[in-house]
Chains A and B, each alone.
Chain A
Amino acid sequence: MAITNPPPLLHFLLISLLISLSHSSSDPLSELKSLRSTSDSSTIHLSDSLFRRILSHHPRTFSLLVFFDATQLHNKPELQLQSLKSEFKLVSKSFFENNQNNPDALSKLFFGVIEFGESQSTFAQFGVNSLPHIRLVGPTDKDMKSEPVKMDAGDYSRLADSMAEFVESRTNVVVGDIVRPPIVSRKQMGVIVLGVLIMLPFLIKRVIVGDTMLHDWKVWLAGAVFVYFFSVSGAMFNIIRKMPMVIPDRNDPNKLVFFYQGSGMQLGAEGFTIGFLYTIVGLLLALMTHVLVRVRSVNAQRLVMIVALFVSFLAVNRVVLLDNWKTGYGIHGYWPSSWN
């Protein structure tokens, strides 16, 4: 009796064992799909075992783009792991959302993240020894060390957009436009609008009375000088080209390069330094001609002037030298040849 009627618990165990067995032998596609649908960013958190199951199938019907992540390296800013990971997730999410109506495409490509601490054997299997590292495992790839295509630094230089281009050029799927989350969420927007609406009557009143920051010429002066500083420092170049503030020295990794030789490019810190030098000289001159003349003490005048002149001279000298060094131009006067 007891034997012919096994208890329901055992029954359940048997069934689940069967299911898991069949799972491991069948195509992992449905599992990946379900994992993806539960994930927030529609990326799949891969583990060693899951990976082994995926690879046991050959050929597969899908490609897998794998981001190799290491939590212990998140605090190293030069690797930019976290920002790359979020961009990676953005591509994944955009792909998922743009292809909602196209289940065919959706089952062609999956995005996975694998973490070093948890899944060291996979890292070894791929032969990954430096990060950031992104690989595209194609449907027919067998040897994980050599076959999967590695995403070059150039392919994630422009972040999500270039990643998407890489994916589109290697697989036959369309990622579509990258959907970036808005900088302010809808709720924040509402709060801001409400705040502005409340402030508006007070602002209008102050404008009519003529007592706002806008009526203070010092604000305008500061603004004008700041815009000048911002522009001559080439900050716009840094923004458009996404230049870093400093880069590590190639010859000596412990050192940082602040100034880049070659006129076509500049680093962030370099630009701001020179912008500051450009601006400070003019401001000191203005200080001398407009403020210092009103000072009563002659000695104070003298002292400030000497300091100002010294600083200005150094600044101009510095910029001229740096410019000659950076551009390599030999600016010279056309003196009579007998002078030489």
Chain B
Amino acid sequence: MEDSSLRYAFGNVLCFFILLLIGLLAFSIRLFSVIKYESVIHEFDPYFNYRVTQFLTKNGIYDFWNWFDDRTWYPLGRVIGGTVYPGLTLTAGTLWWILNSLNIPLSVETVCVFTAPIFSAFAAWATYYLTKEVKGTGAGLAAAALLAMVPSYISRSVAGSYDNEAVAIFALIFTFYLYVKTLNTGSLFYATLNAIAYFYMVCSWGGYTFIINLIPMHALLCIVTGRYSSQLYIAYCPLVVLGTLLAALVPVVGFNAVLTSEHFASFLVFIIIHVVALAYYIKGILSPKMFKVAVTLVVSVGLVVCCAVVAVLVALVASSPTKGWSGRSLSLLDPTYASKYIPIIASVSEHQPPTWPSYFMDINVLAFLVPAGIVACFLPLSDASSFVILYIVTSVYFSGVMVRLMLVLAPAACIMSGIALSEAFTVFTRSIKFQFPGISQSHQIDAGDTSSEPSGDVIQNVVKTDKIDEPVKEWPSRRNKKKEKENVEKTSKPSIKSKIEKRLMVLPLETSIISLCLLVLLGAFYVIHCVWAAAEAYSAPSIVLTSHTPGGLHVFDDFREAYAWLSHNTDVDDKVASWWDYGYQTTAMANRTVIVDNNTWNNTHIATVGTAMSSPEKAAWEIFNSLDVKYVLVVFGGLVGYPSDDINKFLWMVRIGGGVFPHIKEPDYLRDGQYRIDSEATPTMLNCLMYKLSYYRFVETDGGKGFDRVRRTEIGKKYFKLTHFEEVFTTHHWMVRIYKLKSPRNRIRSKTKKSKSKSSSSTNLKRSGTRKKNPWH
């Protein structure tokens, strides 16, 4: 007895240290970006979050809550407090505040940079707890180790990628853990914690709708398959009631928590679970005969009520234009929806469906292990394991629709693979352990010798290893009690059971060793892949670019150069127009007002900018001038071969612009369906503002050729002058070019005269025509 408790204690200490190391691994594997580049915020959205955090730490929470930002979406502005998920900023703000009150003077930026790695460690630990609830400690540790370095999650949580997902994945896993924990224990304490964790998730990320649909689905599944229990009731109902109330407190969600279809499933299941609970209760107090009578009565009445409720719901949902679902959710259910109707969603690369290499890149060998995990979860099926099965199935389907949701799949894949690995290791190591030539009993077992004494030692060992694998619980659930009883029974009847046990447990020795080696190799491959992915693929901040040339490392720091120029050389209140991708960075780094930014809430406004970029100079000047724009910023990669520049994004500008202003037609920019900028390009293309601003004076760079390195072709129109814009700044590698709108009297005279006469006729046309060209006129 004492021996076993010592083993327990030793196991727990070992487990603790392993978890510590896993946390360390999760944190440190994400530091490649800091080591290779510098401690800098990445990409686009994180800059906005960073700016909000700065505001929060400077002005306090109340000002943050009421913040109206007039530096963006000019002239509309944006209510920040009511339109952001505040979880991330509040978390980082709190971290910064704690550190500062401990007299650790870290800058806000440093805290923001390292928030994601810290929360990855938390997420790994949450995964451990969740998997432990499902399949025991061993699986938990394996899953946590896998999650600590899964590339999909690394891609969103390297140091510096300060985005909602960084904390949201932790919140997601932790909410699931608490749900499963409540299922296993039936404790109201955990149920309340679960609601609070859900609240944190709602604060953090729009992906919370996944939780509020997955958990009802699981509850419904349990009910349908006849697994209803009071634990399920305790796990589900407080979450819906408290969770919905708390979610409604978050301004960005508000009454959406009860009004949109995404949440209806939870309420429907809430009603169903109460009906079922009532049925079970009545069944308990009535005699079987009376119960049958009651059932017929209730079913007939209930059906009528149900039909009425469903009819009302359908009418309510059908009356809203998108059937009460937001575009992003709809594109999950009907995968072709977005590509048909919402170009602004379809245009984002992370909303595309993935191909098979994406899976290999993002979850690597886990893709092989998951099916084994699914099978393991079915043997035996418990409430907890059915939940993770549901989680993997739904998330893998959604990831198939939208590559971005690979992030939600990653924890599920880790849990499943952890379970698979742990089960496989258990079986193989056990086979080796009991058949290894050094151990005396092994031969007897191997031969299946039944005449000899049942080797009690072996059986006890087996039982013990099983026990260690089982979750250690303070409040053991009914099911665990049952298991313990079974264990007791097993040991009390050794004579029959032992034979079965022996046969059940082992595989041939040499093949077990081979399998073990192969599994270890597979794991090693996973580690190599993850480290490579973290170091090479996912650590680029995209604000600083590097390229390896034979001459050595070359750094492109053009973006910061341009933003610094803007902040030093323009007036504080000047408006800068650019495509929406660069809005957040411009406001955060240059502190200048922008017309549109990455929060794509107003399609018309974005379409206006898109139209301006696709229009000829004069028309573009008029649109920009009407928006008070003083500077136009374009990103151009043709000189250094930077592929995600504005020319490559240009077709989306045309599409989005054309969606609102029909005089912009995509075919006008395509030659025989092909997008080209060489001499074959259409005149509309060669005369549009984007082409001119990108390629102005470009021919001077390579002595008259004008060779675009991204498109790999010579440009179509090489020598031209700008009439309504003037170049004010071009960065070192020509990646960012800034133009100033000429004031009317400064424009080239002869052109002005011509265009004036043209414009007068065009305004006449405009008056007579019904097409709107510019909403700001």
Residues of A within 8 A of B518 (CB): 309, 312-313
Report the stretch among B106-114, B160-168, B309-317, B505-513 that lies at the interface. Answer: B505-513
Point out the residue from B368, B400, B424 that lies within 8 Å of A236, measured CB to CB.
Answer: B400
Residues of A within 8 A of B667 (CB): 169
Q: Counting CB contacts under 8 A, is B618 at the interface?
A: no
B420 touches A290 (CB 8 A): no
B360 touches A234 (CB 8 A): no
Point out the residue from B358, B504, B515, B532 that lies within 8 Å of A309, measured CB to CB.
Answer: B515
B335 touches A217 (CB 8 A): no
Complex A-B: 12 CB contacts under 8 Å? A228-B370, A230-B397, A232-B359, A282-B370, A282-B372, A282-B374, A283-B371, A289-B372, A302-B508, A302-B510, A316-B365, A329-B361
Residues of A within 8 A of B531 (CB): 333-334
Q: Counting CB contacts under 8 A, is B186 at the interface?
A: no
CB closest residue in chain A, given B674: A154
Report the separation of the CA atoms of residues A239 and B504 in the bound assembly, to the nearest whole angstrom. 44
Known: A225-B371, A240-B335. A293 touches B356 (CB 8 A): no
CB closest residue in chain A, given B416: A282
Residues of B within 8 A of A326 (CB): 357
Q: Which of A214-242 contact B (CB under 8 A)?
A: 214-215, 217, 220-221, 223-225, 227-228, 230-237, 239-241
B535 touches A316 (CB 8 A): no
What 0/1 pattern do residues 270 to 308 of A give for CB contact below 8 A with B? 110011001101110110111011101010011001100
B225 touches A237 (CB 8 A): no
Residues of A within 8 A of B361 (CB): 323, 327, 329
Minimum distance in angstroms from B666 CB to a CB of chain A: 9
Q: Which of B656-709 contact A (CB under 8 A)?
A: 665, 667, 672-673
Q: Counting CB contacts under 8 A, is B353 at the interface?
A: yes
Known: A221-B378, A228-B393. A306 touches B511 (CB 8 A): yes
CB closest residue in chain A, given B346: A240
Report the separation of the CA atoms of residues A312 and B420 in the bound assembly, to the nearest whole angstrom. 15
Report the stretch among A36-44, A78-86, A260-268 that lies at the interface. Answer: A260-268
Residues of A within 8 A of B506 (CB): 293
Q: Counting CB contacts under 8 A, is B98 at the interface?
A: no
Point out the residue from B360, B424, B533, B672 that lies within 8 Å of A288, measured CB to CB.
Answer: B424
Minimum distance in angstroms from A207 CB to a CB of chain B: 8
Q: Counting CB contacts under 8 A, is A332 at the interface?
A: yes
Report the separation of the CA atoms of residues A194 and B288 in the bound assembly, to the nearest whole angstrom. 33
Minimum distance in angstroms from A271 CB to a CB of chain B: 5
Report the separation of the CA atoms of residues A215 and B355 in the bound assembly, to the nearest whole angstrom. 34
Residues of A within 8 A of B336 (CB): 239-240
Q: Counting CB contacts under 8 A, is B522 at the interface?
A: yes
Residues of A within 8 A of B508 (CB): 298, 301-302, 305
Known: A152-B672, A282-B368, A293-B504. A224 touches B529 (CB 8 A): no
Q: Counting CB contacts under 8 A, is B514 at the interface?
A: yes
A332 touches B532 (CB 8 A): yes
B401 touches A236 (CB 8 A): yes
Report the separation of the CA atoms of residues A336 and B446 in the bound assembly, to the nearest whole angstrom. 44
Known: A239-B336, A285-B420, A293-B427. A215 touches B378 (CB 8 A): no
Minimum distance in angstroms from A330 CB to a CB of chain B: 9
Report the separation of the CA atoms of residues A223 and B533 in the bound assembly, to the nearest whole angstrom. 32
Q: Counting CB contacts under 8 A, is A319 at the interface?
A: yes
B376 touches A235 (CB 8 A): no
Residues of A within 8 A of B359 (CB): 232, 234, 278
Report the separation of the CA atoms of residues A294 and B372 in the bound assembly, to the nearest whole angstrom. 17
What 0/1 pattern do residues 200 to 237 of B give for CB contact below 8 A with A? 00000000000000000000000011100000000000
Known: A265-B355, A290-B375. A240 touches B339 (CB 8 A): yes
Residues of A within 8 A of B376 (CB): 286, 289-290
Point out the residue from A228, A296, A312 that lies within 8 Å of B392, measured CB to CB.
Answer: A228
Residues of A within 8 A of B393 (CB): 223-224, 227-228
Residues of B within 8 A of A154 (CB): 672-673
Q: Counting CB contacts under 8 A, is B482 at the interface?
A: no
Q: Counting CB contacts under 8 A, is A210 at the interface?
A: yes
A292 touches B357 (CB 8 A): no
Point out the residue from A228, A285, A301, A332 that lies within 8 Å of B424, measured CB to CB.
Answer: A285
Instruction: Tally the A-B contacts, defined by beta carbons under 8 Å.
Output: 195
Q: Counting CB contacts under 8 A, is A48 at the interface?
A: no
B356 touches A234 (CB 8 A): yes
Report the separation of the CA atoms of residues A103 and B535 in the bound assembly, to the nearest whole angstrom. 66
Q: Counting CB contacts under 8 A, is B470 at the interface?
A: no
B369 touches A285 (CB 8 A): yes
Q: Which of B307-363 contact A (CB under 8 A)?
A: 335-336, 339, 353-361
A263 touches B504 (CB 8 A): no
Q: Counting CB contacts under 8 A, is A153 at the interface?
A: yes
Known: A217-B381, A224-B393, A283-B375. A278 touches B355 (CB 8 A): no
Report the separation of the CA atoms of residues A154 and B666 in the bound assembly, to the nearest whole angstrom. 13
Q: A153-B673, A298-B508 are in contact. List 10 more A-B contacts (CB 8 A).
A: A215-B226, A228-B371, A231-B399, A278-B359, A285-B369, A288-B424, A320-B525, A327-B357, A331-B529, A334-B531
Minimum distance in angstroms from A171 CB to a CB of chain B: 14
B507 touches A305 (CB 8 A): yes
A263 touches B357 (CB 8 A): yes
User: Which secondary structure dominates where chain B touches chain A?
Assistant: helix
Q: Interface size bucket, B side?
A: 35 or more
Residues of B within 8 A of A231 (CB): 396-397, 399-400
Q: Counting CB contacts under 8 A, is A97 at the interface?
A: no
Point out the residue from B335, B505, B511 that lies within 8 Å of A305, measured CB to CB.
Answer: B511
Point out the residue from A271, A294, A306, A313 that lies within 8 Å of B504, measured CB to CB.
Answer: A294
Q: Counting CB contacts under 8 A, is A141 at the interface?
A: no
B355 touches A227 (CB 8 A): no
Q: Counting CB contacts under 8 A, is A155 at the interface?
A: yes
Point out the residue from A215, A217, A275, A294 that lies within 8 Å of B503, measured CB to CB.
Answer: A294
What 0/1 pattern do residues 521 to 537 of B give for CB contact below 8 A with A? 01001001101110101
Q: Which of B459-497 contact A (CB under 8 A)?
A: none
Minimum distance in angstroms from B149 CB to a CB of chain A: 14
Report the separation of the CA atoms of residues A125 and B672 in the bound assembly, to the nearest whole angstrom. 23
Known: A236-B401, A301-B507, A313-B518. A228 touches B357 (CB 8 A): no
Q: Which 7 A-B pairs have the closest CB atoms?
A: A282-B371, A154-B673, A286-B375, A231-B400, A236-B400, A281-B368, A305-B511
Q: Which of A109-159 contact B (CB under 8 A)?
A: 152-155
B335 touches A236 (CB 8 A): yes
Residues of A within 8 A of B528 (CB): 331-333
Point out the residue from A221, A239, A281 that lies within 8 Å of B375, measured CB to CB.
Answer: A221
Residues of A within 8 A of B335 (CB): 236, 239-240
Known: A331-B532, A332-B532. A214 touches B379 (CB 8 A): no
Residues of A within 8 A of B225 (CB): 214-215
CB closest residue in chain B, given A233: B356
CB closest residue in chain B, given A218: B378
Q: Which of A186-233 contact B (CB under 8 A)?
A: 207, 210, 214-215, 217, 220-221, 223-225, 227-228, 230-233
Minimum distance in angstroms from B736 CB to a CB of chain A: 26
Minimum distance in angstroms from A329 CB to a CB of chain B: 8
Residues of B within 8 A of A225 (CB): 371, 374-375
Q: Counting CB contacts under 8 A, is B248 at the interface?
A: no
CB closest residue in chain A, given B531: A334
Minimum distance in angstroms from A141 CB to a CB of chain B: 19
Report the separation of the CA atoms of residues A305 and B424 in the bound assembly, to the nearest whole angstrom. 13
Residues of B within 8 A of A334 (CB): 531-532, 535
Minimum distance in angstroms from B560 CB to a CB of chain A: 29
Residues of B within 8 A of A233 (CB): 356
Q: Counting CB contacts under 8 A, is B389 at the interface?
A: yes
Known: A169-B665, A288-B427, A333-B528. A232 touches B355 (CB 8 A): no
Minimum distance in angstroms from B651 CB to a CB of chain A: 13
A270 touches B356 (CB 8 A): yes
A279 touches B371 (CB 8 A): yes
CB closest residue in chain B, given A296: B503
Report the separation of the CA atoms of residues A227 and B370 in the bound assembly, to the nearest whole angstrom. 12
Residues of A within 8 A of B378 (CB): 217, 220-221
